[in-house]
Structure 1
Amino acid sequence: MHIAVFSQYHTNPDCPATSRHYTLLAHIAKTHRVTLLTTPAWKPQRLTQEFPWVPEGVEMREAAVPYENKMGPARRALAFAQYAAWAVREGLRIDKPDVIWGISTPLTAAWAAAQVARWRKVPWVFEVQDLWPSFPIAMGAVPTGLARRQLYQLEKRLYQSARHILPLSPDMARYVTDLGIARAKVTTVLNGTDLDLAARATPAEAQLRRSQGLEGKQVVLYAGTFGRANDIPTLLAAAEAMAATATDAVWLFLGHGFHEPLIAAAAARWPGRIRLVGGQARHEVFTWFALADVSVVSFLALPVLDSNSPAKLYDSLAVGTPVIVTNQGWTKELVERHGCGWYVPAGNAEALVTQVHQVLAQPDLRNEAGHKGRQLAAAEFDRQQLAGVVQRVLEAAQVTA
C-alpha cells in the first residue's frame, strides 16, 4: 500500500522536539510504501547526528517554506498557506497513493491532504494534534469574526470528508464527536513516548547530575516550548518564590521559545537556583527528566488547552518522574486516577509552590508516584504499539474505500 503523509513539520530524534511521527513512520515504512510531504523547518535545529533525517523506507519531498516558533500570526499564516499550496501541487504529482494521512497542525496541512484525496479519488485519514482553529482563536491570532466562522466551517467539512479521524487525547475525541461526527469514525491515539529512548536515561542520569553540579539538589523541571500558551510567567513566579527560601531546590527550564528572555532574566537574578537550559535532542531529554524529582506540565487556563496531549507528560512518566499538571481536562483525571502526579490550577503560583514543597518533602510519595507512572507508560504510552494502531486505521481506510 502507498501512503502519502502531509505534515508541515518533520523532526527526528536529533531535534529538540517530540519526533512522534518519526517513530510512527519508521514502523509503517517496514511494510508499506510511504511518501512524506513536508518542509525542512526543523533541520537547522538538529543538535546531533545520531539518526537519519527520515526513517529507512520513507521517501521525502520537501518544500522550502521557513517556519519558527517566534513568528508572529501574519508570518505564520503565510507559511501555512505556502506549504498548503505546495502540498496540493506535489500531492497531484506523486504516484497515486492508496490512502492519504493528513496531520494537523496547522489545519491547512489537513486541508491540502483533503484536496489531493478528493482530486485523486482516494480516502484520507485526519490526525488531530491540536484543536484548530479553536487554539489560535483562543490565543487571539484570528481577529475577525468572519475569519473565525470560515475556519470553523472548514474544520467541520474536513472532519466530515475524512474516512477516519485520529485525535491525540480523549478530550479532543469528545470535541470531534460533539460536532456530530460518528464515534465509529474516531480513534484516540495518544501522543505517547519512545520507551527505547527512555531506557537510556537511567544509566546516564548520575553522570549528568554530576556534570551539572546538581548532586544533593532537588530538581524541578519544565521541559518543552516556552510558548505563549505554556503559562511560563506563573512558573517563573513560583520558581523565584522558592529561590528566595529553598536553598537546595533548583528549577530547570529546558527548551526554547517566546518567553526565553523572561527565563534568562530570572536565571540571572537567581543564579544556580533557576537555570535556563537550551533545547536538547529528543534522545537526550529523557536523562534530564530522570534526574528531576518532579516535572511540571503547564498551560494557560483556557478550555481549549485542557484537551492537549503534551509529550512532556509521557516522557516524564516513562522515566519514573511524577508530574504536576495545570490542565483541568483529561491529564488531571489521568494523574489523579493513576496516582502518578498532582493537579494545580493554572495561573496560581502560590498553589504551585505549596504543591512542589509537599512533593519534595516526601520522597516515599515521589517514588511511589514515579513507579506508578513508569508502569502506566509501559502499558499505554509505547509509541511502537500506538504506531500499530495508526497503521491498522490507515489499512482499514484503504480497504473500505
Structure 2
Amino acid sequence: MHIAVFSQHHTNPDCPATSRHYTLLAHLARTHRITLITTNTWERLRLTHRYPWLPEGVEVRTAAVAYENKMGVGQRLLSFGRYAAYAIREGLRIDKPDVIWGISTPLTAAWAAAQVARLRGVPWVFEVQDLWPTFPIAMDAVPNQWAQRRLYALERNLYRSAQHIVTLSPDMSSYVAGVGLAKGKGWQFSQEKITTILNGTDLDLAALATDEAVAALRQANKWQNRRVVLYAGTFGRANDIPTLLAAAEQLAPNHPDLVWLFMGHGYDEPLVHAAAARCAAIRLVPPQPRHAVFTWFRLADVSIVSFLGLPVLDANSPAKLYDSLAVGTPVIVTNPGWTKELVETEGCGWYVPAGDAAALATHIAKLLAEPSIISAAGQAGQRVAPQYFDRQELASAMQNILEQSAKQP
C-alpha cells in the first residue's frame, strides 16, 4: 500500500523536538510504501547526526520553507501558505497513493492533504495535533471575526471530508466529537470516525537514561548535591513561562540546594535569560537532541508541564509529560483537563492551577520536604508509560487506521 504523508514539520531524534512521526513512519515503512511531503526547516537544526534523517524506506519531497516559534503572525501565514502550495503540487505529481495522511499543525497542511485526496479520488486521514483554529483565536492571533468564521468553516469541512480523524488526547477527541454531533449542520459525523492516539514516547530512547548517564550529567554540571526542577520544551507564549520564573525566584531564598532548569528556546527566551542573570537558582539549558533529553528528565526530581489557563490548552498532549514519566520523574501539570485526571488517577504527579506562582512554589517546597512521595509518584509513572505511552504500540494503531481507511469506498 502507498501512503502519502503531508507534514510541514518533520524531525528526527537528532533534533530538539518530539519526533513522534519519525517513530510512526519507521514502523509503517516496514510493510508499506511511504512518500513524505515536508520541509527542510528542522533538518538544518539537527544538533547531532546519530540517526538517519529519514527512516529506512521513506521517500521524501522537501520544500525549502522556513519556520520558527519566534515568527510573527504574518511570517507564519506566509510559511504555512508556501508549504501548502508546494504540498499540493507534489501531491499531484507523486504516484497515486492508496491513502493520504494529513498532519496538523498547521491546519493548512491538512487542507493541502484534503485537496490532493479530492483531486486524486483517494481517502485521507486527518491527524489533529492541536485544536486549530480554536488555539490561535484564543491567543488573540486572529482578531478578525470574519477570518475566525472562515477558519472554523475550514476546520469543519476538513473533519467532514476526512475518512477518519486521529487526535492526540481524549479531550481533543471530545472537542472534535462535539463539532461532528452539532445539530442542524450538513457536516455532521459520528464519534466512531474519531480515534485518540496519544503523543506517547520512545521507550527505547528512555532506556538510554541510565544511572551512569545521570551521574555523569550531575558531575559535569556540579549538581551532585542539588535538587532539580525541570521545564523542558518550547518557551512559547502559551507555556506560561513567567509563572515558572516567578515561582523559582520565590523558592530560591529558602532552598539554596534547589536549581531550576529551563531547557529549550522560543518566544520567552529573553525572560529566562534575564531571570537567570538575577537569580542563581535559575539555569538556562540549550535545547537537547531527543535521544539525550531523557537523561535530563531523569536527573530532575520533578518536571513541570505548564500552559496558560485557557480551556483550549486543557486538551494538549505534551511530549514532556510522557518523556518525564517514562524515566520515573513525576510531573506537575497546570491545566484541569485530561492530564490532571491522568496524574491524579495514576498517582504519578500533581495539579497546580495555571498562573499561580505562589501555589506552585508552595507545592514544590512540600514535595522537596518529602522525597518518599516524589519517589512513589515516579515509580507510578514508570508503570503507566509502557501501558499507554509506547510509540511502537501507538504506531500499530495508526497503521490499522490507515489500512482500514484505504479500504473504504
The TM-score with structure 2 as length reference comes to 0.97
In structure 1, what is the equivalent of residue 402 of structure 2? 394
State the SS of the aligned residue for 2:254: coil
Tell me, in whole angstroms, the C-alpha distance in 2 between the residues paired with 1:68 and 1:43: 13
Tell me, in whole angstroms, the C-alpha distance in 2 between the residues paired with 1:202 and 1:368: 19
State the SS of the aligned residue for 1:150: helix
Q: What residue identity is the alignment partner of 2:150? A: Q
Tell me, in whole angstroms, the C-alpha distance in 2 between the residues paired with 1:55 and 1:387: 14
Q: 2:247 aligns with which of 218, 238, 260?
A: 238
Q: 1:341 aligns with which of 330, 340, 349?
A: 349
Q: 5 Å matches for 1:37-76?
A: 37-76=37-76
In structure 2, what is the equivalent of residue 223 of structure 1? 232
Identity of aligned residues (%): 68
State the SS of the aligned residue for 2:11: coil
Q: Is 1:112 equivalent to 2:112 in the alignment?
A: yes
CA RMSD of aligned residues (A): 0.6
Q: 5 Å matches for 1:158-173?
A: 158-173=158-173
Q: Given that residues 286 and 316 in structure 1 are in contact (C-alpha distance below 8 angstroms), is that contact kept between their aligned partners in structure 2? A: yes
Note the alpha carbon deviations across 1:288-313, whole angstroms, 9 max, x for none: 00000000000000000000000000
Tell me, in whole angstroms, the C-alpha distance in 1 between the residues paired with 2:94 and 2:4: 9
Tell me, in whole angstroms, the C-alpha distance in 2 between the residues paired with 1:400 and 1:289: 43
Q: Given that residues 138 and 304 in structure 1 are in contact (C-alpha distance below 8 angstroms), is that contact kept between their aligned partners in structure 2? A: yes
Q: Give the deviation of 1:361 after TM superposition.
A: 1.2
In structure 1, what is the equivalent of residue 314 of structure 2? 306
Q: Give the deviation of 1:206 after TM superposition.
A: 1.0
Tell me, in whole angstroms, the C-alpha distance in 2 between the residues paired with 1:165 and 1:209: 43
Q: Give the deviation of 1:202 after TM superposition.
A: 2.1
Q: Given that residues 3 and 32 in structure 1 are in contact (C-alpha distance below 8 angstroms), is that contact kept between their aligned partners in structure 2? A: yes
Q: Give the deviation of 1:395 after TM superposition.
A: 0.2
Q: Give the deviation of 1:213 after TM superposition.
A: 1.0
Tell me, in whole angstroms, the C-alpha distance in 2 between the residues paired with 1:197 and 1:117: 35
In structure 2, what is the equivalent of residue 196 of structure 1? 204
Q: What residue identity is the alignment partner of 1:255? A: G
Tell me, in whole angstroms, the C-alpha distance in 2 between the residues paired with 1:64 and 1:307: 32
Q: 5 Å matches for 1:107-146?
A: 107-146=107-146
Tell me, in whole angstroms, the C-alpha distance in 2 between the residues paired with 1:268 and 1:295: 22
State the SS of the aligned residue for 2:233: strand
In structure 2, what is the equivalent of residue 264 of structure 1? 273
Note the alpha carbon deviations across 1:334-385, whole angstroms, 9 max, x for none: 0000000000000000000011111111111111100000110011100000
Note the alpha carbon deviations across 1:103-160, whole angstroms, 9 max, x for none: 0000000000000000000000000000000011111111200000000000001001
Q: What residue identity is the alignment partner of 1:41? A: T
Structure 2 gap segments, 5+ residues each: 182-188
In structure 2, what is the equivalent of residue 367 of structure 1? 375
Q: Give the deviation of 1:45 after TM superposition.
A: 1.3
Q: What residue identity is the alignment partner of 1:21? A: H
Q: Give the deviation of 1:281 after TM superposition.
A: 0.2
State the SS of the aligned residue for 1:52: coil
Tell me, in whole angstroms, the C-alpha distance in 1 between the residues paired with 2:40 and 2:253: 43
Q: Given that residues 167 and 173 in structure 1 are in contact (C-alpha distance below 8 angstroms), is that contact kept between their aligned partners in structure 2? A: yes
Q: Given that residues 202 and 319 in structure 1 are in contact (C-alpha distance below 8 angstroms), is that contact kept between their aligned partners in structure 2? A: no
The TM-score with structure 1 as length reference comes to 0.99
Aligned length: 400
Deviates more, 1:109-118 or 1:243-252: 243-252
In structure 1, what is the equivalent of residue 260 of structure 2? 251
Tell me, in whole angstroms, the C-alpha distance in 2 between the residues paired with 1:168 and 1:348: 27
Tell me, in whole angstroms, the C-alpha distance in 1 between the residues paired with 2:23 and 2:408: 26
In structure 1, what is the equivalent of residue 219 of structure 2? 210
Q: Given that residues 218 and 293 in structure 1 are in contact (C-alpha distance below 8 angstroms), is that contact kept between their aligned partners in structure 2? A: yes
Note the alpha carbon deviations across 1:7-44, whole angstroms, 9 max, x for none: 00010000000000000000000000000000011112
- Runs (4+) of structure 1 exceeding 3 A deviation are none
Q: Give the deviation of 1:229 after TM superposition.
A: 0.2
Tell me, in whole angstroms, the C-alpha distance in 2 between the residues paired with 1:297 and 1:360: 18
Q: What residue identity is the alignment partner of 2:165? A: I
Structure 1 gap segments, 5+ residues each: none
Q: What residue identity is the alignment partner of 2:147? A: A
Tell me, in whole angstroms, the C-alpha distance in 1 between the residues paired with 2:139 and 2:61: 32
In structure 2, what is the equivalent of residue 277 of structure 1? 285
Tell me, in whole angstroms, the C-alpha distance in 2 between the residues paired with 1:12 and 1:263: 27
In structure 1, what is the equivalent of residue 184 of structure 2? none
Q: Give the deviation of 1:399 after TM superposition.
A: 1.2
